[in-house]
Amino acid sequence: MLRRILLFPPVWISLIVVVAASTLPLYVSGYILGLLTIAYYFGVFSMAWDLLFGFANEVNFGPTFLIGLGAYTAGILDNLYQPPIFVCVAAGAFAAVTGGVALALPALRMRGPYFGLMTLVAVLMLQNFVVVAAELTGGEIGLTVPDVISIDDKVNYWIALGFMTFSGAVLYGLSRSPVGLILQASGQDAVQAGALGFNLTKHKLAAFIVSAFFSGLAGALMVFYLGAASVGTFIDVTVGVQVIIGAVIGGRRTILGAAIGAVFLIAMGEALRPLGDLATFIVSGMALFVVLAFPGGLLGMVKGAREAT
Amino acid sequence: MLFWQILIAGFAISSLYALGATGFTLIFGVTGVLNLSHGAIMVAAAVAAWAASESLGVGSYLGAVFGILTGLLLSLATYFLVVGRLQKSRKIREEEKEIFILTATLLWGIMIQEAIAYLYTNNAKTVAPIVEGVVSILGVRTPANEVFTAVVCWLSIGALWYFVNGTRAGKAVLAASMNPRGVTLLGIELSSVYFAAWAIYGVLAGIAGVLLGMFFGVSSYSAGPLTASAFSIVVLGGLGSVYGTLIAAYVVGYLETLTAYLVSPAYRTIPALLLLVVVMYVRPRGLLGRR
C-alpha cells in the first residue's frame, strides 16, 4: 500500500521538490527565505480554497474571512493574555472553523453566485468590524503581537515549508478519497449526485470546515511569523483575490497546483516589483490569459501534454 | 428639518445606486453573466471624464461624453475579449462556465483598476459637476448637483424602460432574457442581442460612473466596493428583476443615509450588509426574485 502511494507520480515528485526546498536555507539569502515563507503560507490558503472551488464547485470569494478570523483571533489572544503560542494558534484555527460553520450553514442553502456573495459580504463585515473595534484589533493601523515563533529566518522557513507539506498531504489525500469524489460529483451534477443518495450539504459543509481549519491555522501561523496583523495583509478583498489567482493559475481541481500557483504568484509579484502598479496588472493579465487559454491551469497543461502523447 | 434632509440626500444617492445596479441586473438577466468588473468600468468612466475635463480642458459636458464612451468601449471589450470567449470555449464544460466567468471578470476588473492606478495614481478624483450652486427644496439647502444626479438617473432608467418595451430591438433583448432559444427560433441572431445588451450596459455604467465621480469622487480603490454594492443591491432585489433592483437600491440608499446621519458615517455600510444577510437567510431569491 505504502509502496503504491510512493510510486504515484504526484507524490514522489512532490516529495523530491519538498526535500530540495528544505535544503534551500543552506545556500540562499535571508531575503529570499522570507519571501518563500510568505509564499508557502499563501500556498496553504490557495490549496484550502481549491478544495471548495475545484471539488465542491463553490466560488468562495471570502477566503480572507477565514484567514482573517484565524489571524486576528490568535493575535488578539496573544496581545491580551500572552498564553503559549500554540494555544493562540489553536484558538485561531478553532475560531476560523466556528466562523466557517456559521457562514456555511446559511450560505450552503444557496447556489452559485448567491453563495459567492454571502462569502464576500462576510469579508466586508469582518473588515468593518476590525476597523470599528479599533481598541481590540488595532483598527486600520494594525495589530502588533508581542511574541513571534522565532527570529531565525531558517526556522521560520522550515516551519512554513513543513506546514505547507502537511496541509498539502492532508488536502490532497482528502481530494483523492471517496469524500473528494463525492464532492466532485456534487459539483458537476448536484441533482444526480443527490439521487445517488449522498448527503451533499453534509459533504460540502465538511469541505468548508477543512478549508476553514487550514486557512485559519495558516493565518494564525503567519501572524506569528510577521509579528503583526493588519486588514491589508489578512482581510482585504485583494488578498483574497491573490489566493484565488494562485489557485486558478496553478490548476483547478489539483490541490498541489494551487500551492505551485501561489508560490509562482508571490515570486512573480516580487520579480516585477520595480514596475510598481504595473506588476499587479501584468500578473492579473497572465492569470486571465491562463483562464481563457488553458482553463486547467499550469498543472492542467502538464496533464494535457501527457495525455496527448 | 433633519427628516427632509435625509429624505432628499437619500433620494439622490439611491437613484445613483439604482442606475448602477440596473445595468448590472440587465446584463445578468439577458446574458446570464455576473460581471465582477462592473465597479472597475464605472471607475474608469469617471476617471476618463475627469482626465478629459481637467487635463485636456474640454469642459464638463464633453468630459462626461468622453466618460460614457469609455464605459461603452470597456463594456464591449469585456464582452469580446473575456466573456464571449469563455461562452464559446469548448475546453470548459457548460456547467462550469459560470464560475469561470466570475473569476475571469474579476481578473479583468483588477486589470482595469490597476491600469487606472498606473496611469492616474490612486488618488481620489472628483469630476467637475455639470451644474453648480445650491437650490432650496422644502427649506433644505441642496447642492444642484444632487438634483441633477437624480434627474439624469431617472431619465436614463426611463429611456431604458422605453427601449425595452417600446422598440423592436429592445423587445428582442427582453425576449432573450425570458427564453433565449425562443428568440433564435424567431430568426433573431442571439449574438447581436448580446451585443446590444452589452452596449446598453456600457452606456448605463458609463453614466452611473460619471455621475458618481461628480457626486462622491472616485479612486481606483472604489472599484471593488462598487461591484460589491451593485451585487448586493441586485441580489437583495432578486437577480434579474429590474423592479426588485430599483426597490432594493432605495432601501440600501436610505439605510446608508439614515445610518450616516443618525449614527455615524463610519458605520454607513453595516446595516445594509446585515439586511442582506437576513434577506438571504429568509428569502434567498431576494425581494422580487423569480427563482
Domain boundaries, chain A: 33-237
For chain A, how many residues are written?
309
Q: For residues A185 and A216, what is the distance between their CA atoms, to the nearest angstrom?
A: 27
Chain A environment of B37 (Cβ under 8 Å): none
Q: What letter would DSSP give residue B81?
A: I
Residues of chain A above pLDDT 70, percent: 95
Backbone angles phi, psi at A229, to 5 degrees: -130, 140
The domains of chain B are located at 15-221
Q: For residues A77 and A91, what is the distance between their CA atoms, to the nearest angstrom?
A: 8
pLDDT in tens, A130-175: 888 888 887 777 888 887 777 788 888 999 999 999 999 999 988 8
Q: Which of B194, B213, B161, B219 is nearest to B78 (CA)?
A: B194
Q: Which of B239, B98, B97 is nearest to A112 (CA)?
A: B98
Residue of higher predicted confidence among A212 and A111: A212
| Integer angstrom CA distances of residue A253 from A47, A171, A229, B14 | 9, 11, 30, 42
Reported ipTM exceeds the 0.90 cut = no
pLDDT tier at A111, thresholds 50, 70, 90 = low
Interface of A with B in 151-210 (CB under 8 A): 188-189
C-alpha grid cell, residue A248: 486558478
User: What per-residue string of b and e applies to A105-123 under the rule 16 or more CB within 10 Å gives b?
Assistant: ebbbebeebbbbbbbbbbb
Chain A environment of B92 (Cβ under 8 Å): 295
C-alpha grid cell, residue B240: 434579474
Q: How many CB pairs lie under 8 A apart between chains A and B?
A: 109
Residue B151: count other Cβ atoms within 10 Å of its Cβ: 13
Residue of higher predicted confidence among B276 and B41: B41
C-alpha grid cell, residue A182: 463525492
- Asked if B267 is an interface residue toward chain A (Cβ–Cβ < 8 A), one would say yes
Contact flag B118-A281 (C-beta cutoff 8 Å):
yes
* Global confidence as pTM: 0.85
Backbone angles phi, psi at A241, to 5 degrees: -65, -40
Chain A environment of B269 (Cβ under 8 Å): 124, 128
C-alpha grid cell, residue B87: 461562452
Q: Which residue has the cell 493601523?
A: A141
pLDDT tier at A219, thresholds 50, 70, 90 = very high
* Per-residue pLDDT at A231: 84
pLDDT tier at B117, thresholds 50, 70, 90 = confident
> Is A216 a residue whose pLDDT tops 90?
yes
- Asked if A295 is an interface residue toward chain B (Cβ–Cβ < 8 A), one would say yes
C-alpha grid cell, residue A107: 450560505
Q: For residues A191 and A185, what is the distance between their CA atoms, to the nearest angstrom?
A: 10
Half-sphere exposure in the Cβ direction for B170 (13 Å, CA): 11
Chain A environment of B82 (Cβ under 8 Å): 288, 292
* Per-residue pLDDT at B101: 87
* Per-residue pLDDT at B271: 83
> Is A308 a residue whose pLDDT tops 60?
no
- Asked if B266 is an interface residue toward chain A (Cβ–Cβ < 8 A), one would say yes
* Minimal C-alpha gap between B105 and chain A (Å): 9
pLDDT in tens, B95-106: 778 778 888 898
C-alpha grid cell, residue A56: 465542491
Q: What letter would DSSP give residue B263?
A: I
Highest mean pLDDT pick, A297-301, B13-17, B127-131: B13-17
Q: Are B279 and B287 in contact (CB under 8 A)?
A: yes
Contact flag B34-A113 (C-beta cutoff 8 Å):
yes
Which residues, other chains included, contact A68 with Cβ-Cβ below 8 Å and sequence gap of 6+? A123, A126, A127, A130, A219, A231, A234, A235
Chain B environment of A131 (Cβ under 8 Å): 266
Mutation pick from B231, B280, B281, B291 vs chain A, by most beta carbons of A within 10 Å, is B280
- Averaged over A90-116, what is the pLDDT? 83
Amino acid present at B109: G
* Minimal C-alpha gap between A179 and chain B (Å): 20
Q: Are B162 and B97 in contact (CB under 8 A)?
A: no
* Per-residue pLDDT at A112: 65
* Per-residue pLDDT at B32: 83
Which residues, other chains included, contact B7 with Cβ-Cβ below 8 Å and sequence gap of 6+? none
Of A107, A112, A288, the CB nearest to B104: A288
> Is B155 a residue whose pLDDT tops 90?
yes
C-alpha grid cell, residue A209: 470546515
Amino acid present at B29: G
Closest CA in chain A for residue B275 = A121
* Per-residue pLDDT at A175: 86
Chain B environment of A237 (Cβ under 8 Å): 224, 228
Q: Are B66 and B253 in contact (CB under 8 A)?
A: no
- Asked if A272 is an interface residue toward chain B (Cβ–Cβ < 8 A), one would say no
Longest dimension (CA), chain B: 62
Chain B environment of A248 (Cβ under 8 Å): 103
